[in-house]
Amino acid sequence: MKEGILEVLIVNAEDIRHTNLIGRPAYYVILQCGTKEYRTKISPGKHKKVLWNEKFKFDFPLSEWKNLTHIKFRIMDKEFFKNNGFVGETRIHLGGIIIEGTDKGFIVVRPAPYNVVLEDDTYKGQIKIGFKFIANKEVQNEIREFAVMPNEPRSICSCIKNLWKFPWWICLYPFKQENSKKEHKHE
């Protein structure tokens, strides 16, 4: 079965809304495409810029990609005393990326800033996101088979022979070295 893979790189966000009344903000992003959802690590918002630099992969059969219209990014602020606060959201239409990626085999969209939409449909800040879509990747469902030898009883001779192959002097060498260091300290 052929599938397409969308790699999403979330680089950073700038000038986004600060929802904490007290303390420093701690932001994370929830990515949603179709039925799959991922979450970035929590990153502190220092100097009005939040850094993530994380990559995520969405893989679906090519027949499903044609039905997916967009990918959604929800920026959240980790709150300690209440539920996490909604900062903003960005939706990116995937139609052009999927069509061109399917035609050419792959497409790379360098990281670019996208507006962050607030609850009241105004804009505040930008999130920088990059994409890479690889189409027609063959899914390999590989089945590995191997023969298991029946448990044969091991002879005592082979066990003793393997025991003698072990280099016992390695166990004693570090001990001698530590003792010699102690002797040099006492002198």
Is 179 within a domain? yes
My answer on whether 41 and 99 are in the same domain is yes
Is 109 within a domain? yes
- The letter for the amino acid at 180 is S
My answer on whether 20 and 102 are in the same domain is yes
Mean pLDDT of 144-172: 54
The whole-number pLDDT of residue 142 equals 47
Mean pLDDT of 110-130: 96
Is 143 within a domain? no
Number of Cβ within a 10 Å radius of residue 94:
20
Highest mean pLDDT among 78-82, 119-123, 166-170: 119-123
Overall domain count for the chain: 2
The whole-number pLDDT of residue 63 equals 83
My answer on whether 160 and 127 are in the same domain is no
The whole-number pLDDT of residue 174 equals 54
My answer on whether 44 and 92 are in the same domain is yes
pLDDT band for position 171 (cuts 50, 70, 90): low
What is the domain range of residue 63?
2-138
List, in order, residues 6 or more apart from 55 with CB less than 8 Å away. 7, 8, 9, 10
- Between 65 and 170, the more confident residue is 65
